[in-house]
A and B are shown apart, each in its own frame.
Chain A
Amino acid sequence: MGRKLLLEHINVPGINTFDVYRSKGGYAAVEKALKTLTPDEVVEEVKKSGLRGRGGAGFPTGMKWSFLAKPEGVERYLVCNADESEPGTFKDRYLMTHIPHLLIEGMIVASFALGAKTSYIYVRGEMMPQIRILERAIAEAKAKGFLGKNILGTDYSLELYVQPGGGAYICGEETALLESLEGKRGNPRIKPPFPAIAGLYGCPTVVNNVESIAAVVPIINDGGDEYAKLGIGRSTGTKLISAGGNLKNPGVYEIDLGLPVEEFLYSDEYCGGIANGKRLKAVVAGGSSVPILPANLFLKTINGEGRLMSYESLSDGGFVSGTMMGSGGFIAYDEDQCIVRNTWNFARFYHHESCGQCSPCREGTGWMEKVLHRLEYGHGKMSDMDLLVDVSKKIEGNTICPLGDAAAWPVASAIRHFRDEFEWHVTDSASATTRNYGIAHYADPLPKVEAAV
Chain B
Amino acid sequence: MLSVQNTDMPVTFTPELISKFADVVSRYPEGKQKSALLPILHLVQAELGWVSAPAMDKVAEYLDIQPIEVYEVASFYTMYFLKPQGKYMLEVCRTGPCEIVGATPIMNHIEAKLGVKEGEVTTDGLFSWRGVECLAACGFGPVLQIGPEYTFYEKLTNESVDALISDLTAKANN
Give A residues with C-beta under 8 Å from B: 75, 84-90, 92-93, 118, 120, 124-129, 159, 161, 163-169, 180-186, 201, 242-247, 250-252, 284, 288, 329, 331, 333, 337, 341-342, 345-346, 349, 352-353
B56 CB–A CB distance under 8 Å = no
Binary contact track B67-102/A, C-beta < 8 Å → 1, others 0: 001001100111110000000000000111101110
Residue picked from B41, B63, B69, B150, most chain A C-beta under 10 Å = B150
B32 x A342 contact (CB < 8 A): no
Choose from B32, B73, B139 the contact partner of A244 (Cβ within 8 Å). Answer: B139
Does any Cβ of A come within 8 Å of B27's Cβ? Answer: yes
Rounded to whole angstroms, the CA-CA distance of A337 and B96 in the bound complex is: 11
Residues A185 and B96 in contact, CB atoms below 8 Å apart: no
The answer to whether B150 touches A183 (Cβ under 8 A) is no
Closest residue of chain B to A92 (Cβ to Cβ) is B136
CB distance from B39 to the nearest CB of A (A): 6
Q: Are B138 and A183 in contact (CB under 8 A)?
A: no
B29 to chain A, nearest CB (A): 7
Chain B residues lying within 8 Å of A250, measured Cβ to Cβ, are: 138-140
Q: How far is the CA of A180 from the CA of B41 in the complex (A)?
A: 13
Q: Is B106 an interface residue (CB 8 A)?
A: no
Which 7 A-B residue pairs are closest in the complex by CB-CB distance?
A: A166-B77, A250-B139, A167-B79, A183-B37, A183-B34, A244-B138, A167-B78
A166–B151 Cα distance when bound, in Å, is: 16
Are B32 and A182 within 8 A (Cβ)? yes
Least CB distance, A285 to chain B, in whole angstroms: 13
Query: Which residue of chain A is the closest to B75 with respect to CB atoms?
Result: A185
Q: Mark B131-144, 1 if CB is under 8 A from A, else 0.
A: 01111111111000
Residues on A with C-beta less than 8 A from B39 are 163-164
Q: How far is the CB of B120 from chain A (nearest CB, A)?
A: 20
B79 touches A87 (CB 8 A): no
B29, B96, B101: which contacts A346 (Cβ < 8 A)? Answer: B96
Q: Tally B residues with Cβ within 8 Å of A.
A: 45
- Residue numbers of B with Cβ under 8 A of A are 27, 29, 32, 34-39, 41-42, 63, 65, 69, 72-73, 76-80, 94-97, 99-101, 132-141, 145, 147-152
- Name the one of A89, A161, A243, A337 contacting B100, with C-beta atoms under 8 angstroms: A337
**Chain B, residue nearest A341 (CB):** B99
Chain B residues contacting A341 (CB-CB under 8 Å) are: 99
Residues of A within 8 A of B41 (CB): 166
Contact A182 B95 (CB under 8 A): no
Which residue of A85, A125, A181, A251 contacts B35 across the interface (Cβ within 8 Å)? A181
Of chain B, the residue at the smallest CB distance from A249 is B139
Query: B96 and A331: CB pair below 8 A?
Result: yes
**A184, B73: Cβ atoms closer than 8 Å:** yes
Chain B hits for A247, CB < 8 A: 139
Contact of B141 with A244 in the complex, beta carbons under 8 Å: yes
B139 touches A165 (CB 8 A): no
Given contacts A87-B138, A167-B80, A185-B76, could you give 5 more A-B pairs where the C-beta distance is less than 8 Å? A128-B148, A129-B152, A201-B29, A245-B101, A288-B95
Residues of A near B134 (CB, < 8 A) are: 85-89, 169, 288, 349
